[in-house]
């Protein structure tokens, strides 16, 4: 296993193997099996159907109970080959896994680091492993702050813009 910490929106990259169906648009539609990084005991089957949706879940790690909002996006599905040595990252175990050493984190949930309380808990876990003090918790949620600022900006400029030609 490679040393270090990993987090990726593509859980399939950490699979033992990737199987491509001929109807898939991925990999040029070439059917076959392709070796992956083999960092988690999972197998991914890439199919033509794309899953793309907003998700709200609850984290199991690094701190149980934290609410997480993000965007799930992937083709196909990933199946756990062995039920040992990994833990589900969220209350929906299909969205992400962590190995027992917590050195490999894989998820299909994009935007996970926009969730400030979760990000701070994850960083504090790394800091403690390196003998550093934890950073303060209770910080504002970046995702909510960003949405508030964008909505405020939109409200301020809307009276001065005619978007009909752009939106039609």
Would you list the DSSP string of the chain?
---S-EEES-GGGGSSEEEE-TT--GGGG--EEEE----SSEEEEEEEEEEEEEEEEEB-SSSTT-EEEEEEEEEEEEEES-SSSEEESBSSTTSEEEETTS-EEEESEETGGG-HHHHHHHHHHHHHHTTPPPPP--PPPHHHHHHHHHHHHHHHHGGG---HHHH-
pLDDT for position 69: 93
pLDDT tens by residue, the chain, 168 residues: 333 444 444 565 555 544 544 444 445 556 667 777 788 888 888 877 888 999 999 999 999 999 999 999 888 788 888 777 899 999 999 899 999 888 899 899 999 998 999 999 999 999 999 999 999 988 887 888 888 999 999 999 989 998 888 888
pLDDT for position 53: 94
Report in angstroms the alpha-carbon separations of 107 from 27, 79, 136: 21, 13, 26
pLDDT for position 22: 42
Rounded CA gap, 95 and 106, in Å? 8
pLDDT for position 28: 56
pLDDT for position 14: 59
pLDDT for position 32: 67
């Amino acid at each position: 296993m490679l040393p270090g910490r990993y987090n990726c929106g593509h859980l399939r990259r950490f699979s033992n193997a990737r199987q491509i169906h001929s109807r898939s648009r991925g990999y040029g539609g070439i059917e076959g099996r392709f070796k992956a990084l083999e960092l988690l005991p999972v197998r991914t089957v890439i199919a033509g159907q794309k899953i793309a949706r907003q998700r709200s879940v609850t984290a199991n790690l690094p701190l149980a109970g934290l609410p997480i909002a993000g965007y799930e996006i992937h083709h196909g599905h990933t199946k756990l080959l062995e039920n040992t040595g990994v833990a589900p990252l969220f209350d929906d175990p299909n969205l992400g896994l962590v190995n027992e050493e917590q050195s490999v984190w894989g998820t299909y949930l994009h935007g996970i680091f926009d969730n400030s309380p979760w990000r701070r808990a994850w960083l504090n876990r790394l800091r403690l492993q390196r003998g550093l003090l934890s950073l303060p918790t209770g910080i504002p949620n970046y995702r909510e702050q960003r949405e508030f600022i964008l909505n405020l900006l939109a409200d301020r400029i809307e009276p001065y813009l005619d978007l009909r030609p752009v939106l039609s």
